Amino acid sequence: MIGVFDSGIGGLSVLAALRSAYPAADLLYYADTANLPYGGRSPALIRRFAKEAGKQFGGWGADCVQVACGTVSSLALDDFAAAAGCPVSGVVLPVVDAITRDGRRRVLILSTEATARSRVFDAALTAKRPGVATLSLGCPLFVPLVENGFFAGNDPALLSLAGRILAPGQTFFPDAILLGCTHFRLLAPLISRLFPGVPLYDCGEAAAGAVPERFGRGNGTLRVYVSDDPERFRLAAERTGSLSPGVPITSAAGE
């Protein structure tokens, strides 16, 4: 079974991509909604959450886990993997590969605050392509906005807020924007309005394409677990259109 992990609904696009690539795969999505948002926490606390989440997947018997959270991928992937006890991949390297493959040279990286402070995407880009210019912008309001359904690309209030948050990116003149948090994919239409013509690279989409085919066999089952209220998660997930209505969502508390 392939596990997919995020703090909230951000990784559902990764789940959907895996489902369409491997219709026979058994999939298990776990969202640590009790501790969301991760991005404003200290590295030590993020590592603790990652260990606890990894342990859950170990207990569920995952064959591999795709961490669909940029924050855990940047700060705590090793902790997560040690606790899970199975192959674990993050979202940093696949998107960095895609950007360097396309020869981009000025990369604006949008992520949670913790990811931005870690500079992990910057370091991976520079290691792969020395001389690339990067600017990391932490966007602490984006995850709570998306979780609460505020991501419409034509909302003038959102556009003006995003414009203020992303203003330093305008004077950087990027030739690529790396969405380093899986929640930000839902804000892509809004971000594209602020940076017309600049290609967006979603870390989740790149990672979903990198899950090895050998994990794609099974009976096509899907289980969804959350660490807090399942109904609240269902509401948030269904607003994004990436989780079919009727999929059972179970509380992982006490497991």
Among 28, 31, 69, 191, binds ligand DGL (CB under 6 A): 69
For 124, phi then psi, to 5°, come to: -65, -40
36 binding ligand DGL? (CB under 6 A): yes
**CB of residue 188 to ligand DGL, shortest distance in Å:** 14
- Considering the rule CB under 6 A, would residue 56 count as an interface residue with ligand DGL? no
Q: For residue 177, state whether it binds ligand DGL (rule: CB under 6 A).
A: no
Task: Report the nearest approach of ligand DGL to the CB of residue 208 (Å).
Answer: 13
Nearest-approach distance from CB 70 to ligand DGL, in angstroms: 3
C-alpha 36/C-alpha 7 separation (Å) is: 6
Our CB check for ligand DGL shows the closer of 19 and 183 to be: 183
Among 1-9, 160-168, 208-216, 224-232, the segment contacting ligand DGL (CB under 6 A) = 1-9
112 binds ligand DGL (CB under 6 A): yes
Contact residues: ligand DGL, CB under 6 A: 6-8, 10, 36-39, 69-71, 112, 115, 143, 181-183
Catalytic residue ranges: 69, 181
